[in-house]
Amino acid sequence: MSKLALVTGATSGIGKAFAERLAADGYNLIVVGRNKDRLEEFAAAHLDVTVRTVAADLSTDVGIDTVAEICASEPLTMLVNNAGVAHYMPLAELPADKARELVHVKVVAPTMLTRAAVAGMQERGEGKIINVAGMIAFSGPADQSVMPRRAVYAGSLAHLVAMSQTLSAELEDTGVQVQVLCPGVVATEFHSRQGLDMSVVPRMSAEDVVTAGLRGLQLGEVVCAPGVEDAGLLDAVFKADLAAFGGQSPELASRYRAG
């Protein structure tokens, strides 16, 4: 049976690196992005596999619905929810249209595409879903010295972490794997499109991020952090999360009682 992967944000950066690697591994591809010309250039350069191009804007309901229909109807063996925008700025300064775009691309789109794909994967007894987030998902406790301000962006990535972890538990023993991929700063067009100069910041290559993600699937990692050498740090975070979750009670905590 042929392998079929759908990759969003496939025209550059991590998405393109995923598409390149999967094509080399023999996957037929459905590549999704806003730039039709770049999609067609990719297809023309990969004639050894079948490449279907889908020009869609995942910041819109129409774009999301178009791709979700494909996810529901095609026998996907892998879904890579990679499309992204940043819009780093304090919430009070973030224009409404940019806030809406960010939430659509990084929250609504991966949620709806995953929802559309997962039932078929369960029926077939196999499938892999990779949600590309970032280590910023874990930056919520940071104080105001950590810049740039990016409340909505950090929140959207944290959604992907929690959704992926919970969905992985839902899909246990179904043959469907879920991973949230959390790189740090990556050398792509992502930041320059936001007007940010990251040239002096050490950055990982998109290819290394893809290597980590695919190897992480083999290792059974639900949360894959390509730049974190000590995986025990992640384990400590998850154990603390569960300790807090398990430490709740129907009784009002003593610190909230009147003295």
Q: Does 125 score more than 60 pLDDT?
A: yes
258: pLDDT strictly greater than 70: yes
Question: Does the structure show a pLDDT above 90 at 201?
Answer: no
Give residue 89's pLDDT. Answer: 86
The pLDDT value recorded for residue 185 is 85
- What is the pLDDT at residue 86? 81
**Cα–Cα distance, 175 to 123 (Å, whole number):** 10
Checking if the pLDDT of 198 tops 70, the result is no
pLDDT digits (tens, 9 = 90+) for 213-243: 999 999 999 999 999 999 999 999 999 999 9
**How many H-runs (helices) and E-runs (strands) does the chain carry?**
8, 7
Six-digit token pair at 168? 């992985």
The model carries a pTM of 0.93
Contacts 24+ apart (CB under 8 A), 186-191: 186/13, 186/14, 188/12, 188/13, 188/14, 189/12, 189/13, 190/13, 190/84, 190/86, 191/86
Please compute the mean of the pLDDT values over residues 36-53 and round it to a whole number. 97
Name the band, by pLDDT with cuts 50, 70 and 90, for residue 188.
Answer: low
237, 182 Cβ separation under 8 angstroms: no
Residue 88: its pLDDT value, please? 84
Q: Taking all residues of the chain, what is their mean pLDDT, rounded to a whole number?
A: 93
Residue 190: per-residue pLDDT: 56
